[in-house]
Structure 1
Amino acid sequence: MNKRFKKILKISIPLLLGIFLVWYSLGSSTPEERQSLWQSITQANIFWILVSFFLGTISHVSRAYRWKFMLEPMGYKSSLSNRFMAVMVAYLANFGIPRSGEVLRAATLTNYEKIPFEKGFGTIISERVADLLILMFIIGVTVILQTDELLGYLDAQNIKPLNTLLFFLGLVAIFIIGLTVIKKSNWLPFQKIRKLAKGLLEGMKSILQMRQKWAFLLHTAFIWTIYLVMFFLIQFSIPETAETSFGVIMAAFVVGSFAVSATNGGIGVYPLAVGGVLIFFGVEDHAAEAFGWISWVTQTAVVVIFGGLSFILLPLLNNRK
């Protein structure tokens, strides 16, 4: 199997899966159910959607601003505009190839701000670690608030948390073994990997060398608070979801976060996953699915609009570079 074919599969399989899930969901519903879903979407309160859109934009600006706290300890300075546009093109790229955005984001600063790729990429990894810790905290709070209901949902979906934990532990063990082999080997490709890893490690260590650690932590908390608030506000755009409890909304938020991470920006999967959680907790089918679609479209609109503009403006605003 050649590299081109593998690359095509990596792009097409998640995308086709999302399209299939949308097709299957709509095809298996009755005309009346599809009509109810469409009415819930078209009659949604646009005010709350616009507020959510605005908050989503603010969260990305905060993420771009936060990035400087990790770059400065290594002696690199960059403009907020370039960091923001790098963040937005990264999110837009993830719609094509999942997780490719992080590479593009680091490459953008390498191109326009002359920041070594491996060091910039290392800061992005550190940033993702911080984000993962916040997400784990949110998951913990959600589990406490909805323990019985979540266990029931996982059982209904035939998902075994213990098996998932064992799988991740196995991946960690494989990673440690591979790291040991690379560290001790003198094979030329492994030497190149060690050189790249050294730069990545320096970038990752920047999170420990920051002079403004509290500012970084506050921005991290702010970003995730905004994520939750913009998701929470969508419920007020649909009358049937307006009274949904905060614990249920958090459960849907967690599932939606994983859906976005595992696919091309959550295409197809995110609305169905979020809607499925809300349906499980008793929200009417058409309202739950409408919630998922409105939330996804709102978040996607922020990325498409500002990501598209960033692709155009980056070379124009940095023509001397």
Structure 2
Amino acid sequence: MLHPRIKQTIQVLLSLGLAIWIFWFLYRDIEIDTLWSQVQSSNWIWIGFSLVISLFGFWLRGWRWTLLMDSKEGKPISSGDSYHAVMVGYLANLLVPRAGEVARCGILSRTNGISIGHLLGTVILERSIDLVFLMGTIAMAFLVENQLFISLANQLVNLEFLLQKATQNLPIILGGLGVLVLFLYILFRKFRQHSLILKAQNFLREIYSGIKGIARLGNPWGFWISSLMIWVIYFLTMFAVSKGIASTANLSSGEVLLVMVMGSIGMVAPVQGGIGTFHALVAFILIQLGIAEQDGKIFAAIIHGTQLVLILVAGLISWIYMMQKPAWNKPVRE
């Protein structure tokens, strides 16, 4: 049995190795001079604007987080401290995937005396809501660019042939679906006490309970509107960078939305900062939109690179600021 620290180190090194390999495989044919030339020719007013928008999005995420904190312990958390904790979390994610959630909770627990358990509960709810909005954004992108979705699906399978076969064998398919549903029901009934089933049920129950609990917040409308605005800001960030690069300046809003969706999926992958996966998915969808392969890869490198620098600089500033704050000492009752 491996020691937990050794196991964690191996996992981190494997994820980092995978990220580096994907990045190298994607950019092995692009010369540094070509990339640098594209960087120099880009409109940095637009790209600078995208960074300003991103910073506001980070602050808004911190402000939204404070709306979920109703613990009576410790001292109240300001939106400024919450923002700095969020940035420390983003910084930690560059080192260890998924470590940011624990890092930002830990640093606020240190300075404000609120239990990590309570803070982690708010983060889980926050991530659950973000997942709901991501699914909604994917659905919106499908509605806006449905022809492209169908075209991509046709590249993988012949949809017309499948539809024809399904129509011809409809009774068999319906019967098969009925048998499948019955089988899954029996399987669920038999193994409903299995740990995986119980964990899944508990996770869904917590999400449902958390969503219901949002209505009891002091500012529920503020929470939902800020959640929506965070995704609008993601879109505006991608849109601003697309305007700043000549090869993508003519993309429509719907196409930029599709690129944003692919980038968001790439960032969900368990690798440091979405390195490699973000680039691969964004470049892939841009190629499908008619952008030259090299230009698509360079676009992905520029937007990810600028965001990476922003997180490094702002995250380090936030980490230094929060570490200089005195640790919370629980008042002693007389």
- TM-score, normalising length from structure 2? 0.78
Partner deviation per Cα, 1:90-145 (whole Å, 9 max, x = no partner): 11111111111111121222111111111111111111111111111110010112
1:277 equivalent in alignment to 2:285: yes
User: Aligned-pair distance for 1:82?
Assistant: 1.9
**Inter-partner Cα distance in structure 2 for 1:133 and 1:109:** 26
| Aligned length, in residue pairs | 293
Find the counterpart in structure 1 of residue 177 from structure 2: none
User: Aligned-pair distance for 1:303?
Assistant: 1.2
**Inter-partner Cα distance in structure 2 for 1:115 and 1:299:** 30
**Inter-partner Cα distance in structure 2 for 1:115 and 1:109:** 7
Q: Secondary structure at the match of 1:78?
A: coil
Aligned counterparts, 1:157-168, within 5 A: none
Find the counterpart in structure 1 of residue 132 from structure 2: 133
Find the counterpart in structure 1 of residue 311 from structure 2: 303
| Matched-pair contact (CA < 8 Å) for 2:112–2:328 | no
Choose from 309, 316, 320 the match for 2:324: 316
Find the counterpart in structure 2 of residue 288 from structure 1: 296
**Inter-partner Cα distance in structure 2 for 1:210 and 1:255:** 32
User: Aligned-pair distance for 1:30?
Assistant: 6.4
Find the counterpart in structure 1 of residue 195 from structure 2: 178
1:75 equivalent in alignment to 2:75: no
User: Aligned-pair distance for 1:297?
Assistant: 1.4
Q: Cα 1:30–1:136, aligned 2, differ >3 Å: closer, same or farther?
A: closer
User: Aligned-pair distance for 1:226?
Assistant: 0.8
User: Aligned-pair distance for 1:299?
Assistant: 1.7
Please, which runs of 5 or more residues in structure 1 have no aligned partner? 159-169, 183-193
Aligned CA-pair RMSD: 3.1
Q: Cα 1:65–1:277, aligned 2, differ >3 Å: closer, same or farther?
A: same
Q: Cα 1:200–1:155, aligned 2, differ >3 Å: closer, same or farther?
A: closer
**Inter-partner Cα distance in structure 2 for 1:7 and 1:50:** 37
User: Aligned-pair distance for 1:305?
Assistant: 1.0
Please, which runs of 5 or more residues in structure 2 have no aligned partner? 158-183, 330-334
User: Aligned-pair distance for 1:223?
Assistant: 1.3
| Matched-pair contact (CA < 8 Å) for 1:121–1:200 | no
Partner deviation per Cα, 1:171-197 (whole Å, 9 max, x = no partner): xx7998426768xxxxxxxxxxx9xxx
Find the counterpart in structure 2 of residue 231 from structure 1: 238
**Percentage identity across paired residues of the two chains:** 27
User: Aligned-pair distance for 1:155?
Assistant: 5.6
| Matched-pair contact (CA < 8 Å) for 2:27–2:297 | no
**Inter-partner Cα distance in structure 2 for 1:271 and 1:114:** 39
| Matched-pair contact (CA < 8 Å) for 1:279–1:288 | yes
Greater C-alpha radius of gyration: 2
User: Aligned-pair distance for 1:154?
Assistant: 4.9
Aligned counterparts, 1:17-36, within 5 A: 17-27=18-28, 29=29, 35-36=33-34
User: Aligned-pair distance for 1:202?
Assistant: 8.9
Find the counterpart in structure 2 of residue 213 from structure 1: 220
| Matched-pair contact (CA < 8 Å) for 2:38–2:298 | yes
Find the counterpart in structure 2 of residue 165 from structure 1: none
